[in-house]
Structure 1
Amino acid sequence: MKTKFIFITGGVLSSLGKGVAAAAIGALLESRGLKVTYLKLDPYINVDPGTMNPFQHGEVYVTDDGAETDLDLGHYERFTTVTLGQENNYTTGKIYYRVISKERRGDYLGGTVQVIPHITDEIKQTILNIAPQVDVAIVEIGGTVGDIESLPFLEAIRQFKGDVGKNNVCYIHLTLVPYIKTAGEVKTKPTQHSVKELRSIGIQPDILLCRTEKNLSADIKAKIALFCNLEPGCVITAIDVDSIYKIPLLLHEEGLDERIVEILNIWTRSPRLEFWQDLVDRLKHPIESVDIGIIGKYVNLRESYKSLHEALVHGGLAHRAQVNLHYIDSELVEREGPEVHLQQLQGILVPGGFGYRGVEGKIQAIQYARLQRIPYFGICFGMQLAVIEFARNVAGLANAQSEEFDSENPYPVIYLMREWFDYRRQAIVRRERSTDKGGTMRLGAYPCVLKEHSLAARAYQTLTFHERHRHRYEFNNSFREALTQHGLHVSGTSPNGELVEIIELEDHPWFLGCQFHPEFRSRPLQPHPLFQDYIRACIEYKRG
């Protein structure tokens, strides 16, 4: 079958949920036996989101091949069976960089390089590059219709329908139908204007996803369809939900997947949705609950920890447990003490991060978890700070620190490893503090080997695996013997033993730090083994 293309755009305002909608569409198509892939096209000029502020952008999602990508790729992977990489997220910066590089090489033979056709052709080629070997390619356009930055992408997908044929393209537009409480009614005008803006550049949407807090009546759908030149059956209610994992079933009930396969002229089997039905049943009927504190500095924007949030929910689903997450500002912990904020918790977690602000509060939280024997999970930076806390307060290395914050400290238990063997690139890597930040990062999937009978080995049920990384600094092996003599257990390393991947405490019910980001591999009914085992430990701690 020739590859079909779905283009998803957004209107009225940002953060309506295009990424989750795209993920849910992929889930529905997979349930019908189709093979899908994704492309996220972002209109910002950064080449990737790697150096962007989490307060502005949310988390940076890392793929197996080391790409730093938009967080929506996390939604795509969690909702489907796809594994994505470098070619599945392009920005304006990345597109222009490729075009300018070609111009410098002389690829355009002296011609004048312009947005049309050169930029739009590059965008279209990027879309085609992901298409081989799949039935449906789902392409999400970032931003909002009407943004000047999005225009080259919208022009490219407008042209695309003429290139590949109208039966091979479906345009889906996500818009807002607000409910005005004082009037007691929903308003369709924002949607009408958004579609008018889209049609003014030559794109007639085939399907409208109407984000709303109230179910849309048949009359409202008919009104929207009339003004937007659609059939009423192509106006889909995308109602607010308390869990994103309910969305595939709700969109299926609205007939979305049926409309898509009709428009694209695809024959498929009937959808098999038992997976999602079981998932929603687990969400609706928990038999346990636990309270877990996430100690961080980006707590005012939950999107900064999106994959982590979802992975903890997945861990709870494995035990039919409701996981109540409490995002706690580490600077408050530092100022007011851990007892004020942490004593009602059954689990404490310190996630990844960069920079010194809030570090001492995180270290206090780790010490509190260690002394009170509360299950502790340290991820990336959270592992490094657990090593620092142990070195200071157990091993007697007074004021031990990371080289990231104090290059003159006598006990740099975390440091920038100057030379190491990169298993992904199969090469020796050398780096200095002066190297570009991207050049000193360990990014993507790397192998880990576990010690038998360790906490990690019991959770994984295997001794070898790969996990995704995003960090610069490493455990300093110069202090390994001193720390292990006092009870720090190095349970996971790189195959050659050089890079420390997991640390545990031998005399604690559940205390584990990992240098990688296990949250990037967790899926709803395939929870990551560490999150599944951590939630188990939190439930047991609550039971006493």
Structure 2
Amino acid sequence: MKFILICGGVISGVGKGVVASSLGRILKEGGLGVTIIKIDPYLNFDAGTLGPRDHGEVFVLDDGTETDLDLGNYERFLGVNLTKLNSITSGRMYQEVIARERRGEYLGKTVQVVPHVTEHIKASIREAASAPIDGSTTPPDVCIIELGGIVGDIESTTFIEALRQLMQEVKRARCLTIAVDYAIELNGEHKTKPIQVSSKRAREQGIGYDVVICRSVSKIQEEALGKVALFTGAEKIVELPDCNVLNVPNRLREEGMLEYLVERLSLTIGERKEGYFNHLIAPKQRACSIAIVGKYSNHEDAYLSIKESLKFAGATDKMSIEAKTTYFDTSLFSDSANLAKLQDFDGIIIPGGFGRRGVEEMIKVAEYARKNQVPLMGICLGLQVMVIEYARNVLGLAKATSEELVKKEDIHAIIDDKINHENAPEESGEDFFIIAKHSNTIRIGGQATYTLPGTQLARIYGVPEGAQISERFRHRYGVIESVAYDLEAAGFKVGIQDGKYIDGMELASHPFYIGVQFHPEFMSKPSEPRPIFTAFLQACTAGSKPKTH
């Protein structure tokens, strides 16, 4: 097993995750088995409770682990499914150490950060590094470790010490450290002092940089790169100005990173299979504009997987569509006059989210799309919004809403806490539905569900007769089954159901008015776009003409 540590010491958010994913990509194209670990030094157990408005998307793995969005990049770049082993946080490490102490496993010893926490971190890294990936029966050849934050953060100190020990144990020939740091540009000149200080700080903690990847807005002067080489002592300096993230593997390949890694770590590669992203980078014949109306639209990365899924769906030879996304915060549509801003878009997506804020505005958007025949895809909360809108404006249930959105004494709800209550009885009265008691449980991760014969969704998934499909979920509330029957009678049909959960609904009289309870974006990959995104783009571009170049 060979280890590659990727860290940084100037600023966070500089692209360490993209670099880690890209290095994994070029190594995999050389025939090597690659796994990636993300270390997040925060004290949260996982990313599940982190706010997307501040931290970006919470990505859900197949095993139900809620992770940082970098895990999504890893899966997409490598074309694999990762597990909870690939996500390490301070919160999880400390909780597991304390649990072992409570069980008496330390035999009365004083439990300390060193050696007990650091040993547990090393053991967790080794376990993840040796675990076969995505159906393979053999351990990977290379483990890439991305350390979140920056070297010097108080939160990172324990991990730095654990990584120092790990590298000492595996010996230099089997590990290396890559720093991804930012070269600040002032008055047309790149300043390298922060990178120099970063390197010095890392050495003080026992980590020396073997490679420095210099991020920047523009091309860096040779003199500046020479300073980085001199003061960091790194064997290789790589320049990486801003570019399309899908071009990063090519840029690193052009900089000779594959050859360097092969020689430095004594790797054996086979015939190269390059071009994984070529179809994504190639010019497209058509374009369409998609509005994403969400609760967390102030943070562009809050819906990163949706944006990437649209890109993958449009990049196939059959489609050749460039999907241009624009984010709208739900608050904009508190004034209904602003719905006119959606006229310029070929399609709309209402993504997932939690809580009451913005839902009434989403309902307005769903009504606009339904009445104006604009293709609309609802994801998770988006499906529930579409159901509420249809119940209110077509079935005439003016007080229809969700348990999540109302006070406990108000019971006019059609979205039920489905996870613990399979059968919610109706209360007598025209538009009143009894809702179940709120629960803290959640339906999460990859799970089976079923397309129903003869439905649009069955055709979209290529199984017109109906069949089992697998998707990833992250929700607590679900549509009450009895309400779904009323909606069906009014034309809004159930297209996906697993027996107790309503997982997809569709409106046949509309070009594309489909909501799903799951998150198809979490399973989309460059070589395997999820079919619902492909169908959505087809509806958005129906009748469109090729772009003029």
Structure 1 residue identity aligned to 2:367: Q
Structure 1 residue identity aligned to 2:501: L
Distance 2:234 2:42 in 1: 31
1:475 and 2:479 aligned: yes
Asked if the contact 2:118/2:158 (under 8 Å) is kept, the reply is yes
Asked if the contact 2:97/2:116 (under 8 Å) is kept, the reply is yes
TM-score by length of 2: 0.92
Asked if the contact 1:294/1:328 (under 8 Å) is kept, the reply is yes
Specify the alignment match of 1:200 in structure 2: 204
Distance 1:415 1:294 in 2: 25
Distance 1:366 1:334 in 2: 13
Q: Secondary structure of the residue that 2:106 maps to in structure 1?
A: coil
1:339, CA displacement in angstroms? 3.2
Structure 2 residue identity aligned to 1:49: A
1:433, CA displacement in angstroms? 4.2
1:213, CA displacement in angstroms? 1.7
Distance 2:330 2:447 in 1: 30
1:488 and 2:525 aligned: no
Residues 541, 53 of structure 1: CA spacing in aligned structure 2 closer, same or farther, 3 A cutoff?
Answer: farther
Q: CA-to-partner distance for each residue in 1:379-425, whole Å, 9 max, x for gaps? A: 0000010000011111121221011112455542211126368xxxx
Structure 2 residue identity aligned to 1:173: A
Asked if the contact 2:56/2:69 (under 8 Å) is kept, the reply is yes
1:155 and 2:161 aligned: yes
1:306 and 2:295 aligned: no
How many positions carry a matched residue from both structures? 520
TM-score by length of 1: 0.92
Q: CA-to-partner distance for each residue in 1:23-72, whole Å, 9 max, x for gaps? A: 11111110000111111111110101111211222111101111111111
Q: CA-to-partner distance for each residue in 1:214-261, whole Å, 9 max, x for gaps? A: 223444333211111123xx11112101x2111111111111122122
Q: Secondary structure of the residue that 1:173 maps to in structure 2?
A: strand
Q: CA-to-partner distance for each residue in 1:189-208, whole Å, 9 max, x for gaps? A: 11111111111111111111
Structure 2 residue identity aligned to 1:113: V
Matches within 5 A, 1:291-370: 291-318=289-316, 319-370=319-370
1:543, CA displacement in angstroms? 5.6
Matches within 5 A, 1:261-272: 261-272=262-273
Asked if the contact 1:348/1:369 (under 8 Å) is kept, the reply is yes
Asked if the contact 1:38/1:138 (under 8 Å) is kept, the reply is yes
Return the match for 2:73 from 75, 80, 98.
75
Distance 2:501 2:142 in 1: 40
Matches within 5 A, 1:84-483: 84-132=82-130, 133-180=139-186, 182=187, 184-231=188-235, 234-241=236-243, 243-281=244-282, 285-318=283-316, 319-406=319-406, 407-409=408-410, 411-417=412-418, 419=420, 433=437, 435=439, 437=440, 440-462=441-463, 463-483=467-487
Structure 1 residue identity aligned to 2:257: L
Asked if the contact 2:286/2:544 (under 8 Å) is kept, the reply is no
Asked if the contact 1:5/1:168 (under 8 Å) is kept, the reply is yes
Q: Secondary structure of the residue that 1:417 maps to in structure 2?
A: coil
Q: CA-to-partner distance for each residue in 1:330-360, whole Å, 9 max, x for gaps? A: 1111224353221111101100001111111
Residues 458, 28 of structure 1: CA spacing in aligned structure 2 closer, same or farther, 3 A cutoff?
Answer: same
Structure 1 residue identity aligned to 2:420: E
Residues 53, 220 of structure 1: CA spacing in aligned structure 2 closer, same or farther, 3 A cutoff?
Answer: same
Distance 1:368 1:541 in 2: 21
Specify the alignment match of 1:530 in structure 2: 532
Q: Secondary structure of the residue that 2:48 maps to in structure 1?
A: helix
Q: CA-to-partner distance for each residue in 1:421-440, whole Å, 9 max, x for gaps? A: 8xxxxxxxxx97454x3xx1
* Structure 1 residue runs without a partner (length 5+): 422-430
Structure 2 residue identity aligned to 1:295: V
Distance 2:271 2:185 in 1: 34
RMSD value, Cα = 1.8
1:514, CA displacement in angstroms? 0.3
Distance 1:25 1:303 in 2: 22
Structure 1 residue identity aligned to 2:372: Q
1:121, CA displacement in angstroms? 0.5
Residues 418, 195 of structure 1: CA spacing in aligned structure 2 closer, same or farther, 3 A cutoff?
Answer: closer
Asked if the contact 1:346/1:542 (under 8 Å) is kept, the reply is no
Distance 1:106 1:88 in 2: 27
Residues 433, 21 of structure 1: CA spacing in aligned structure 2 closer, same or farther, 3 A cutoff?
Answer: farther
Distance 2:259 2:220 in 1: 19
Specify the alignment match of 1:19 in structure 2: 17
Distance 1:410 1:403 in 2: 7
Q: Secondary structure of the residue that 1:172 maps to in structure 2?
A: strand
Q: Secondary structure of the residue that 1:106 maps to in structure 2?
A: coil
Structure 1 residue identity aligned to 2:254: E
Distance 2:267 2:421 in 1: 50
1:368, CA displacement in angstroms? 0.6
Asked if the contact 2:286/2:545 (under 8 Å) is kept, the reply is no
Distance 2:213 2:513 in 1: 45
1:82, CA displacement in angstroms? 2.0
Asked if the contact 1:338/1:364 (under 8 Å) is kept, the reply is no
Q: Which moves more between the two structures, 410-419 or 3-12?
A: 410-419
Distance 2:455 2:253 in 1: 44
Distance 1:130 1:485 in 2: 51
1:77, CA displacement in angstroms? 0.2
Structure 2 residue identity aligned to 1:341: K
Distance 1:153 1:288 in 2: 48
Q: Secondary structure of the residue that 1:469 maps to in structure 2?
A: strand
Structure 2 residue identity aligned to 1:8: I
Asked if the contact 2:421/2:436 (under 8 Å) is kept, the reply is no
Specify the alignment match of 1:509 in structure 2: 511
1:270, CA displacement in angstroms? 4.8
Structure 2 residue identity aligned to 1:467: E
Asked if the contact 2:417/2:438 (under 8 Å) is kept, the reply is no
Distance 1:392 1:541 in 2: 32
Asked if the contact 2:280/2:312 (under 8 Å) is kept, the reply is no
* Structure 2 residue runs without a partner (length 5+): 131-138, 423-434
